[in-house]
Amino acid sequence: MTSIADAAAEFLSHDRIAVAGVSRNATGHGGNVVYVRLRDRGYTVFPVNPNAETVEGDRCYPDLASIPGGVDGVVIATRPAAAAAIVEECAKLGITRVWMHRSFGGGSVSDDAVALGRKSGMTVIPGGCPLMFGKTSDGGHRFMCWFGKLTGSVPRTV
């Protein structure tokens, strides 16, 4: 098993990241927060929502296959029931890194989607948030990471 810190560092060492499940209404939506922070910290990031043409002022893609040049990893910020379809698309496209966003509550983690991703050879991070680690982090997210490890919403190993 890999520590969450090592898995996060490996995921965040790649530049091209899609955030699936961003919202047209950004208020209080974790996916949008992740998207904007990654964009602002220098990542080449792609918002994915089949019902939006733009998100946060940027072109939005209806699915992962529509992103020119592909991506190195995907942050899933949807309801859990939609996570498996995104993992299936990742498998078809050869994407091997998936992070299912969760801070408090259920987040985007689906046990079926985690199992599907791992069966397909992906590194799946089932919980936590990319903003808790590395150059994307801040004090509030680092505290949430510590608390999430205590409560189980952030895995200790992947």
CA distance 28 to 12: 23
The verdict on residue 34 lying in a domain is yes
Tell me: pLDDT of 140 over 80: yes
**Number of domains comprising the chain:** 1
Report the DSSP beta bridge partners of residue 128: 102
Tell me: pLDDT of 22 over 80: yes
pLDDT at 28: 64
CATH number at residue 119: 3.40.50.720
Structure pTM? 0.95
The verdict on residue 157 lying in a domain is no
Cβ 130 vs Cβ 18: under 8 Å: no
The mean predicted confidence, pLDDT, of the chain is 93
The verdict on residue 158 lying in a domain is no
The DSSP annotation for 78-121 comes to S-HHHHHHHHHHHHHHT--EEEE-BSSSSTT--HHHHHHHHHTT
The verdict on residue 111 lying in a domain is yes
The verdict on residue 156 lying in a domain is no
User: pLDDT for 106-136, tens place per residue?
Assistant: 789 999 999 999 999 999 999 999 999 999 9
Exposed, middle or buried, 90 (CB in 10 Å: 0-12/13-18/19+)?
Answer: buried
Cβ 40 vs Cβ 57: under 8 Å: no
Segments forming the whole domain that contains residue 35: 4-151
The pairing of strands 16-20 and 73-76 is parallel
pLDDT at 104: 67
Greater confidence, 63 or 27? 63
* Total number of residues shown for the chain: 158
Q: Which two tokens stand for residue 24?
A: 């047209």
User: pLDDT for 71-111, tens place per residue?
Assistant: 999 999 999 999 999 999 999 999 999 999 986 667 899 99
